């Protein structure tokens, strides 16, 4: 007993000593200027020996004053290779010494400052033919880039720093000449000209574009050919609309396979719900494990709309589980949505490892599932098909539940009970592990995408909690991110709204608020959207070519002012604005909005036809201008009840308006209210068919 007490005391003293040592070590580390920032990504680098500074006028002025080259290092909190480069290079004293002596070093959170990211990503793409994060660019003191790349090893980075520094000191004119040429290339890339021809769009142009696009479609594993594989929700969403309106069963079959394979893959978290950003293999098995709000928001929209169209139970499961993940992991008490979960987490040895939170060993699964393991093993492929590396597995399915139940000679009811039980057991076990870090900044555009996701889920499944979540977040944005002058802020953190918003923020908020109006018939959301588009015309619009810049004229000048036109994982800001202008033009009978939308599409008509995969949201707009597009108005005392049934239909070629009262500010609703009856009007450009009382008859009159 005496020995035990002495031993316990010794352990206690050792524990105190070690913890005090850790605190002393932390205290002994000197912070850099990033300690004053709010971005979780920038704060991750606040104790690096590199003398990091944030991107701001003061830092840029310092570079000019000291005539020092600038290192611009761009990344984001959930990025695995950003962490790797930090550990190898930015935490290394010898590398830091070179950087501090020769450069002004700037860290940029690409999610807070997409304007800076876009300019220097463009530079790296022109220099190397590719891009990604971490993004590392070396620029002249005035910000013009001379060298760049993505991830560098410590040895590579050291060599780059020394050689570029030597070049600038010994032959500055060479560096300046290269910067001048590269900057000119950045300014001229994606150059847009005003198309002065009369706008004309045809169905044939759309079918020809999709025919060209087919070459890129992966008909075996789903999605699009090549690796890494991104789900590209907007592209799949447009193709769903195309298959419906153009009656193309081959595209229907392609989509059914794609949506199943993505949902079956390891890119989908079968235990906790939600999607990772992309997969590194063609069968969607091994993801880059970061979970981003914007991906999950858009995939919720995609699977919700697919369910409206096809009523596939798999899609419903995916949406419900993903929204459960959003609610539990990425939602704050005030209704705002956080940005992401990290790809890395600590493994059982306490070391940071990509995917450690999500991987399983066979031994773990046997211990947890016991007699059920044999069936689980077949369902989630604990075999060569599901093997990742080092005897670790990432869960992946390759059969539908119907197929699997038939093969195993069990009922669907039994299988569903088993799957539910397995998920609960593994979820409980997984939650005992070290969790990935949370990036808790709130971005306006990503929150707006999540509002859209909740609205689309409400339309598909009628769950009022989904609508409540959408409204709570929309009110949060209206109260916190909407400025007094009706402009927007980009960022919210620690109770403060900061950073003048970009066109992406305006575009996504307008899109989601228009959708919110369609399900609530509350004109507040349309009014805000109209105010936002009017701000865009004042601060972002290029009168010469009729497109919108990514940055406001109120913002600091970068080396190039860019237009965002290519639809990537998130549709381009210009394509979203053009689609909203089309709808707002109808709502407010505003010819300026409609003509601007049409001209924007006309400017990019050739791009869309030649490279449809990069212009899917523009194709959506082109379909609005070519196929029948309807305004469906519900007016009367029971308008809300009728509208609740109306929105539960897949009609991609309509906009919805409605009122339960006579007084309304919307021209589209004028003279349509009747106290005694609720009528449904199906109209084209304000000209309406005979009003209907029967919703089914009204829907039947909507041509595809």
Tell me if the pTM is above 0.85.
Answer: yes
Taking Cα atoms as reference points, which of 451, 515, 511, 522 lies closest to residue 647? 515
Arithmetic mean of pLDDT over the chain? 93
Q: Does residue 130 or residue 607 have the better pLDDT?
A: 607
Four-residue CA torsion sign, 575, 581, 582, 587: positive
pLDDT at res. 4: 34
Query: Hunting for tokens 């290339």 — which residue is that?
Result: 185
Cα(647)–Cα(137) distance, integer angstroms: 48
| CB contact at 8 A, 109 and 77 | yes
At residue 21 the predicted structure's pLDDT band, cuts being 50, 70 and 90, is very low
| CB contact at 8 A, 209 and 612 | yes
**482 in any annotated domain:** yes
Query: Hunting for tokens 């009007």 — which residue is that?
Result: 681
At residue 670 the predicted structure's pLDDT band, cuts being 50, 70 and 90, is confident
My answer on whether 158 and 252 are in the same domain is no
Cα(119)–Cα(662) distance, integer angstroms: 50
**195 in any annotated domain:** no
Residues 6+ apart with CB under 8 A from 117: 74, 108, 110, 135
pLDDT at 190 over 80: no
pLDDT at res. 85: 96
Q: Average of pLDDT values for 645-668?
A: 92
My answer on whether 694 and 573 are in the same domain is no
Domain final residue, candidates 391, 416, 432 = 432
**352 in any annotated domain:** no
Q: How far is CA 311 from CA 231, 262, 278, 315, in A?
A: 21, 17, 26, 8
Q: Average of pLDDT values for 638-666?
A: 93
How are the residues of the chain apportioned to helix, strand and coil, as percentages rounded to the nearest 5? 55, 15, 35
Assign residue 227 the CATH number of its domain. 1.50.10.10
Q: Average of pLDDT values for 46-63?
A: 96
pLDDT at res. 23: 43
For 200, other C-beta atoms within 10 Å of its C-beta total: 11
My answer on whether 69 and 169 are in the same domain is yes
Q: Average of pLDDT values for 657-680?
A: 89
Assign residue 94 the CATH number of its domain. 3.40.30.10
My answer on whether 621 and 634 are in the same domain is no
Query: Hunting for tokens 């059969």 — which residue is that?
Result: 399
| CB contact at 8 A, 299 and 322 | yes
pLDDT at res. 15: 40
For 170, other C-beta atoms within 10 Å of its C-beta total: 9
| CB contact at 8 A, 178 and 146 | yes
Judged on CB neighbours under 10 Å (0-12, 13-18, 19+), 237 is: buried
Domain final residue, candidates 577, 597, 626 = 626
pLDDT at 2 over 50: no
Going by the DSSP 8-state scheme, the letter that residue 557 receives in this structure is P
Judged on CB neighbours under 10 Å (0-12, 13-18, 19+), 591 is: exposed
**Beta bridge partners of residue 69, listed in sequence order:** 103
What are 198-214's pLDDT values in tens digits? 999 999 999 999 999 99
Domain final residue, candidates 575, 602, 626 = 626
Q: Average of pLDDT values for 309-322?
A: 97
pLDDT at 7 over 50: no
My answer on whether 467 and 610 are in the same domain is yes
User: Computed over its alpha carbons, how large is the radius of gyration of the chain?
Assistant: 27
Residues 6+ apart with CB under 8 A from 129: none
pLDDT at 3 over 60: no
Four-residue CA torsion sign, 223, 224, 228, 230: negative
At residue 10 the predicted structure's pLDDT band, cuts being 50, 70 and 90, is very low
| CB contact at 8 A, 429 and 368 | yes
What are 65-84's pLDDT values in tens digits? 999 999 999 999 999 999 99
pLDDT at res. 13: 37
Share of the chain above pLDDT 70, in %: 96
What are 507-556's pLDDT values in tens digits? 999 999 999 999 999 999 999 999 999 999 999 999 999 999 999 999 99
Among 485-499, 589-603, 683-697, the least confident range: 683-697
Taking Cα atoms as reference points, which of 256, 234, 227, 202 lies closest to residue 613? 234
Residues 6+ apart with CB under 8 A from 566: 190, 572, 614, 615
Q: Does residue 191 or residue 413 have the better pLDDT?
A: 413
pLDDT at 27 over 60: no
At residue 28 the predicted structure's pLDDT band, cuts being 50, 70 and 90, is low
**65 in any annotated domain:** yes
Overall number of domains in the chain: 5
Give the H or E element holding residue 149.
strand 145-149
| CB contact at 8 A, 112 and 490 | yes
My answer on whether 475 and 550 are in the same domain is yes
My answer on whether 379 and 401 are in the same domain is yes
The distance of Cα 346 from the centroid of its chain, to the nearest Å, equals 26
**571 in any annotated domain:** yes
Q: How far is CA 404 from CA 219, 305, 419, in A?
A: 22, 26, 12
What are 465-519's pLDDT values in tens digits? 999 999 999 999 999 999 999 999 999 999 999 999 999 999 999 999 999 999 9
pLDDT at 8 over 50: no
Taking Cα atoms as reference points, which of 640, 701, 690, 631 lies closest to residue 666? 631
**196 in any annotated domain:** no
For 116, other C-beta atoms within 10 Å of its C-beta total: 22
My answer on whether 313 and 362 are in the same domain is no
pLDDT at res. 163: 95
Q: Does residue 248 or residue 14 have the better pLDDT?
A: 248
Four-residue CA torsion sign, 470, 472, 476, 478: positive
What are 553-570's pLDDT values in tens digits? 999 989 999 999 999 999
pLDDT at res. 662: 83
pLDDT at 449 over 50: yes
The distance of Cα 94 from the centroid of its chain, to the nearest Å, equals 37
Four-residue CA torsion sign, 121, 126, 131, 134: negative
pLDDT at res. 187: 87
**194 in any annotated domain:** no
At residue 63 the predicted structure's pLDDT band, cuts being 50, 70 and 90, is very high
Cα(186)–Cα(562) distance, integer angstroms: 9
Peptide bond before residue 134 is cis, with ω within 30 degrees of 0: yes
Q: Average of pLDDT values for 135-145?
A: 96
The distance of Cα 206 from the centroid of its chain, to the nearest Å, equals 26
Q: Average of pLDDT values for 39-67?
A: 96
Taking Cα atoms as reference points, which of 624, 631, 644 lies closest to residue 672? 631
Judged on CB neighbours under 10 Å (0-12, 13-18, 19+), 242 is: buried
pLDDT at 22 over 50: no
What are 393-424's pLDDT values in tens digits? 999 999 999 999 999 999 999 999 999 999 99
My answer on whether 637 and 560 are in the same domain is no
pLDDT at res. 675: 83
pLDDT at 385 over 90: yes
Q: How far is CA 172 from CA 68, 150, 178, in A?
A: 11, 24, 10
Share of the chain above pLDDT 90, in %: 90
Give the H or E element holding residue 443.
strand 442-443
Domain span including residue 635: 630-700
Give the chain's end-to-end CA distance (angstroms, integer): 85
For 665, other C-beta atoms within 10 Å of its C-beta total: 12
**321 in any annotated domain:** yes
Among 117-126, 184-193, 309-318, the least confident range: 184-193
| CB contact at 8 A, 257 and 249 | no
My answer on whether 145 and 55 are in the same domain is yes
pLDDT at 192 over 70: yes
**Beta bridge partners of residue 542, listed in sequence order:** 547
Q: Which long-range contacts (C-beta less than 8 Å, at least 24 apart) are formed by 464-471?
A: 466/323, 467/519, 467/520, 469/323, 469/327, 469/331, 469/335, 470/512, 470/516, 471/516, 471/520
My answer on whether 477 and 511 are in the same domain is yes
My answer on whether 39 and 21 are in the same domain is no
């Amino acid at each position: 007993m005496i020995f035990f007490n002495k031993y316990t005391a010794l352990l206690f003293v050792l524990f105190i000593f070690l913890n005090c040592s850790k605190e002393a070590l932390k205290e002994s580390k000197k912070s850099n200027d990033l300690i004053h920032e709010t971005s979780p990504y920038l704060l991750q680098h606040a104790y690096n020996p590199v003398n990091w500074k944030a991107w701001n006028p003061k830092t840029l002025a310092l570079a000019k004053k000291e005539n020092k080259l600038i290192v611009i290092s761009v990344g984001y909190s959930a990025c695995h290779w950003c962490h790797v480069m930090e550990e190898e290079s930015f935490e290394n004293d010898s590398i830091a010494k070179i950087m501090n002596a020769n450069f002004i070093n700037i860290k940029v959170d690409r999610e807070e400052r997409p304007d800076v990211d876009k300019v220097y990503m463009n530079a790296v793409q022109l220099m190397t033919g590719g891009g990604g994060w971490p993004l590392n660019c070396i620029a002249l003191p005035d910000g013009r880039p001379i060298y760049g790349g993505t991830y560098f090893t410590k040895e590579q980075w050291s060599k780059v720093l020394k050689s570029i520094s030597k070049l600038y000191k010994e032959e500055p004119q060479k560096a300046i000449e290269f910067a001048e040429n590269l900057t000119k290339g950045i300014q001229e890339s994606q150059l847009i000209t005003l198309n002065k021809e009369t706008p004309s769009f045809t169905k044939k142009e759309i079918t020809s574009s999709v025919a060209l696009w087919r070459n890129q479609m992966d008909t075996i594993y789903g999605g699009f050919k090549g690796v890494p594989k991104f789900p590209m929700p907007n592209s799949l969403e447009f193709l769903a609309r195309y298959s419906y309106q153009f009656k193309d069963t081959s595209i229907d079959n392609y989509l059914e396979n794609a949506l199943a394979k993505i949902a079956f893959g390891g890119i989908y978290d079968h235990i906790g719900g939600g999607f990772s950003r992309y997969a590194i293999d063609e069968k969607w098995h091994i993801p880059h494990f970061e979970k981003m709000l914007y991906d999950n928001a858009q995939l919720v929209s995609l699977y919700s709309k697919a369910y409206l169209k096809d009523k596939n139970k798999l899609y419903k499961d995916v949406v419900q589980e993903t929204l459960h993940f959003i609610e539990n992991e990425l939602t704050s008490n005030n209704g705002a949505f956080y940005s992401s979960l990290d790809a890395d987490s600590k493994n059982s040895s306490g070391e940071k490892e990509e995917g450690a939170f999500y991987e399983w060993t066979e031994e773990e699964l046997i211990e947890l599932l016991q007699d059920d393991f044999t069936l689980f093993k077949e369902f989630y492929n604990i075999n060569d098909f599901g093997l990742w590396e080092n005897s670790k597995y990432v869960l992946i399915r390759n059969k539908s539940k119907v197929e699997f139940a038939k093969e195993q000679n069990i009922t669907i009811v039994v299988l569903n009970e088993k799957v539910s039980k397995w998920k609960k057991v593994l979820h409980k076990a997984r939650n005992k592990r070290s969790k990935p870090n949370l990036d808790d900044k709130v971005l306006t555009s990503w929150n707006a995408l999540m509002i859209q996701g909740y609205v689309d889920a409400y339309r598909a499944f009628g769950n009022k909690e989904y609508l409540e979540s959408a409204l709570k977040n929309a009110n949060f944005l209206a109260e916190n991110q909407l400025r007094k002058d009706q402009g927007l802020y980009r960022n919210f953190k620690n109770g403060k709204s900061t950073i003048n918003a970009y066109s992406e923020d305006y575009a996504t908020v307008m899109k989601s608020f228009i959708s919110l109006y369609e399900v609530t018939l509350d004109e507040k959301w349309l009014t805000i959207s109209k105010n936002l588009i009017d701000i865009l015309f004042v601060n972002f619009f290029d009168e010469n070519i009729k497109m919108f810049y990514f940055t406001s004229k109120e913002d600091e000048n970068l080396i190039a002012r860019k237009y965002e036109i290519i639809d990537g994982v998130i549709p381009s800001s210009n394509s979203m604005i053009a689609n909203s202008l089309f709808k707002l033009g109808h709502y407010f009978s505003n010819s300026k909005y409609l003509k601007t939308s049409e001209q924007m599409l006309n400017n990019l008509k050739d791009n869309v036809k030649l490279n449809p995969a990069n212009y899917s949201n523009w194709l959506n707009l082109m379909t609005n201008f070519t196929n029948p597009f309807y305004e469906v108005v519900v007016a009367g005392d029971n308008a809300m009840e009728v509208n609740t049934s109306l929105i539960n239909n897949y009609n991609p070629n309509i906009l919805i308006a409605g009122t339960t009262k006579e007084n309304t500010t919307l021209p589209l609703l004028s003279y349509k209210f009747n106290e005694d009856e609720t009528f449904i009007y199906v109209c084209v450009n304000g000209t309406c068919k005979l009003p209907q009382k029967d919703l089914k008859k009204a829907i039947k009159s909507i041509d595809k």
